[in-house]
Amino acid sequence: MGELLLIRHGETTWSASHRHTSYTDLELTPDGERQARALGALLAGRRFARVLSSPRQRAVRTAQLAGLGVEATDPDLAEWNYGEYEGRTTADVHAENPHWNLWADGAPGGESPAQVGERADRVLAAIAPLLDRGTVALVGHGHSLRVIGARWIGLPPSAGGLLRLDTTTVSVLGHEHGRRVILRWNQPALPPSGSADRTARH
């Protein structure tokens, strides 16, 4: 049984400023491109039965710079639809709605946790037979990949809120004694530089 690699895209201007980014199709920053190239060294020696990406250019470009051959894009790997909160930071939203929690409430005009969970379940069902042939890589986004991680180990979509995921990181899902487990989570392509905040949290 192969492993499942979750790869979050490199930095964009909005991720650097902690702005929620879903359908807005941003390019990588120069730092994001540098981070994405560093993924190539982190993934060196791995062979993949399949590489799938979100259709957003920040994910596809990250895969290309990392040397991954994307065989298909899947809209179910797109980021959580933030609806009215697209482009806004959590701090900005909390100024008007201090009790808002994406993982419990979803986004007005966008998706609920259950809807993102349904997408994650479709992705996992689709790649299940591919894992019999080897390792699969999914290139995508912070929140949607966190939901995939939670669903892999049988937790509700909201549990993704407990799995911090930084830009340009690799997480590895697999099996132990026949059970689905998280083997490694949030491994950076590059070591953190000084005190800079590279988390790109929203």
Q: Give the integer Cα–Cα distance in Å for 199 and 202.
A: 9
**161 Cβ neighbours under 8 A, 6+ residues apart:** 101, 102, 103, 146
State how beta strands 135-140 and 4-8 pair.
Answer: parallel
**186 Cβ neighbours under 8 A, 6+ residues apart:** 163, 164, 165, 166, 169, 171
Q: Specify whether 79 is catalytic.
A: yes
Q: Does the CA dihedral 114-119-120-125 come out positive or negative? A: positive
Q: Specify whether 20 is catalytic.
A: no
Largest CA distance in the chain: 49
CA distance from start to end of the chain: 34
- From the list 11, 79, 86, 111, the catalytic residue is 79
Active-site residues, by number, are: 9, 79
